[in-house]
Amino acid sequence: MGISRLVLCSAVAIVIANPALAQGETKIPAAPSAGIKDDVETVPFVNTGDQIGIACSALSKSSADSDVRVVLTISAQPGETPPGYKKVLATDAQVAHGAVRVRIPTVPDLEDHLVNVDVYVVDEGAAQSCDAGHMKIVRQRTAPGTVG
């Protein structure tokens, strides 16, 4: 009984930990400086308007009055049309327990782009940052029975 409860709790924790219950994922070549052992990085798909959670070491060292910002930088991919901007700020940031929850902004032409996610933490006299990897912004889901 105890082992099955442990397995169930672990499965629930994994599902909750995934960013915004991402719709899928893709694989891209890993950046040489990323420190990833494999040649590819698994990239989750998220929608504009989704909330995601990010944990990183800079957040675990931050204080309650730290200024925390999450920036999405467009990662140019061959064949993509640039949206006309390079970076966008994620909104509705909520910081707690060494993590930040933000909403993926709904801005023109962000869909169908790969973005690099960076977290910046500014305290009184110090600044830290974390590279939170990549995400693919996909077309927003529509409600059943609607055209979109």
pLDDT digit string, tens, across residues 16-58:
344 444 455 555 555 554 454 557 788 999 999 999 999 988 8
- Quote the distance between the C-alpha of residue 78 and its chain's center: 22
The mean-pLDDT minimum among 1-5, 33-37, 121-125, 134-138 falls in 1-5
DSSP state of 141: P
Mean pLDDT, residues 130-141: 86
Using alpha carbons, select from 108, 68, 112, 111 the residue that is nearest to residue 90: 68
Count each helix (H run) and each strand (E run) in the chain, helices first: 2, 9
| pLDDT score at 116 | 95
Residue ranges of domains in the chain, CATH in brackets: 2-138 (2.60.40)
Task: Return the higher-pLDDT residue of 85 and 34.
Answer: 85
Q: Which amino acid is at 20?
A: A
Res. 103: pLDDT tops 90: yes
| pLDDT score at 50 | 93
